[in-house]
A and B are shown apart, each in its own frame.
Chain A
């Protein structure tokens, strides 16, 4: 047993473009304890929201994160709509579902790439991101933005997407399936990848539940917890949604969950486009927000919580966002305990950390 040393991980670390900061307590090469801390990227944007009216506020909330930006816009809009007691048109609900699932495709491809980079497979990283560019082109064509769209607003959508464009979206995505399969086969079957991921960072079902983990992290440990099942928002109950669950609880299981969700999202988009009704995409909303509303949304990284409390004016008293990475940190701390120092980048990535989400 060696002497204990503390190794700081981040904020500037090649594995992650973001300033994640962990203090790793090591005994020789083994991590015995982890102390996460926050603040390199904390902006205090929930406080900023108090000075913005509910329409401007959505722009701020969307900038919590540039990867799940659409979901944050949706969640904030849904919380405000709930506090107002407004029900948005069916077509808007469909469009939100389609764009949210498209965001999941882009986010999971991004994550697969970063994961490949973390275990040193750079060409795989490049291939994942090459495919992802096609998805970004779809976003750009339909919303005008590549990463931040600002298309959601309280009361519906800012603009409609034509049925022709939606059909084209499905065609493009179906065309990607073969390429995605080629890439994901490497993740699942390649011996060197298996070697790095199978049996690494095991989180048992009991631990995942005890640590309140969410998203692919908990679904990789055999828990069928997915907010899309609840049917609070979107049209998932009309699309026959079934959550993706894997039992093993290791890095591989979490990767497979994301790979299967990637393909599932494409199918959900296809079904939604086939069913989408015509009609308006926004509705009239009251000028002021009264009342409160707490709601959740299944982001690519897991469950995100939104709470809006009105103050009888167009400004809100409180807009709270709790992001998935925030509640996955205890699970990460658990996974890191007892791991090798060389595995830390993989384990840190396996929860799909989004630090700008966590610190807001």
Chain B
């Protein structure tokens, strides 16, 4: 008996081609599934963008240096991204530029600032 398994498509992007890649996916008819942050090590975050078209997922992987890199917001392309970008801003301390809906750190109300950020 054959069973489908969820296809794993991961593609690396960088800060300069993120927006063009996301725009291409939008033009192809993809929808945004989620954005999440992953702590790779003390100096690096990975931001994982997931998109879906016809139940097949496409993931973009963006590595950024903690406290150094600022990411261009994709809310201009996918407006609902504001949920995840504000979440990552509040929990990880990543700065997103040119957001269409920036809560300025008031989306998640947490007792400590950026709880996910590695403590040095």
Q: Inside 8 A of A209's CB, which chain B residues have their CB?
A: 31
Kindly state the interface size class of chain A when it binds its partner: 35 or more
Which residue of A47, A232, A303, A330 contacts B80 across the interface (Cβ within 8 Å)? Answer: A330
Asked if residues A212 and B31 are in contact (CB atoms below 8 Å), the reply is yes
Given contacts A44-B115, A227-B55, contact A330 B83 (CB under 8 A): yes
- Report how far A262 CA is from B87 CA in the complex, Å: 33
Asked if residues A307 and B83 are in contact (CB atoms below 8 Å), the reply is no
Q: Inside 8 A of A294's CB, which chain B residues have their CB?
A: 6, 8, 48, 50, 57, 59
Binds A, one of B14-22, B63-71, B106-114: B106-114
Binds B, one of A116-124, A134-142, A166-174, A317-325: A317-325
- Asked if A59 lies at the interface with its beta carbon under 8 angstroms from chain B, I say no
- Which residue, of A44, A93, A359, has the highest number of chain B Cβ atoms within 10 A? A44
Asked if residues A327 and B83 are in contact (CB atoms below 8 Å), the reply is yes
Asked if residues A230 and B4 are in contact (CB atoms below 8 Å), the reply is yes
Q: Inside 8 A of B31's CB, which chain A residues have their CB?
A: 209, 212
Q: Chain A 141-185 against B: per-residue CB contact (8 Å), 1 yes, 0 no?
A: 000000000000000000000000000000000000000000000
- Report how far A93 CA is from B4 CA in the complex, Å: 12
Kindly state the interface size class of chain B when it binds its partner: 35 or more
- Which residue, of B8, B34, B59, has the highest number of chain A Cβ atoms within 10 A? B34
- Report how far A292 CA is from B40 CA in the complex, Å: 13
- Report how far A90 CA is from B82 CA in the complex, Å: 40
Asked if residues B4 and A293 are in contact (CB atoms below 8 Å), the reply is no
> Interface majority SS on A: helix, strand, loop or mixed?
mixed
Chain B min CB distance to A93 (Å): 7
Asked if residues A230 and B3 are in contact (CB atoms below 8 Å), the reply is no
Q: Inside 8 A of A230's CB, which chain B residues have their CB?
A: 4, 6, 55-56
Contacts between chains A and B (CB distance < 8 A), count: 102
Q: Inside 8 A of B106's CB, which chain A residues have their CB?
A: 37
Q: Inside 8 A of A292's CB, which chain B residues have their CB?
A: 8, 10
Given contacts A42-B108, A230-B6, contact A330 B36 (CB under 8 A): no
Chain B min CB distance to A217 (Å): 12
User: For chain A residues 309-350, which have a beta carbon within 8 Å of chain B?
Assistant: 309, 317-318, 320, 322, 326-327, 329-330
Give A contacts to B, CB under 8 Å.
37-40, 42, 44, 47, 82, 87, 90, 93, 209-212, 225, 227, 229-233, 237-238, 292-296, 303, 305, 307, 309, 317-318, 320, 322, 326-327, 329-330, 359
Question: Beyond the given A93-B3, A295-B6, A303-B33, could you list 9 further A-B residue pairs with CB under 8 A, ordered by the A residue number?
Answer: A42-B109, A47-B116, A82-B5, A90-B1, A209-B31, A305-B33, A305-B34, A317-B38, A329-B80
Give B contacts to A, CB under 8 Å.
1, 3-6, 8, 10, 31-34, 36, 38-40, 48, 50, 52, 55-57, 59, 78-80, 82-83, 87, 103, 106-110, 115-116
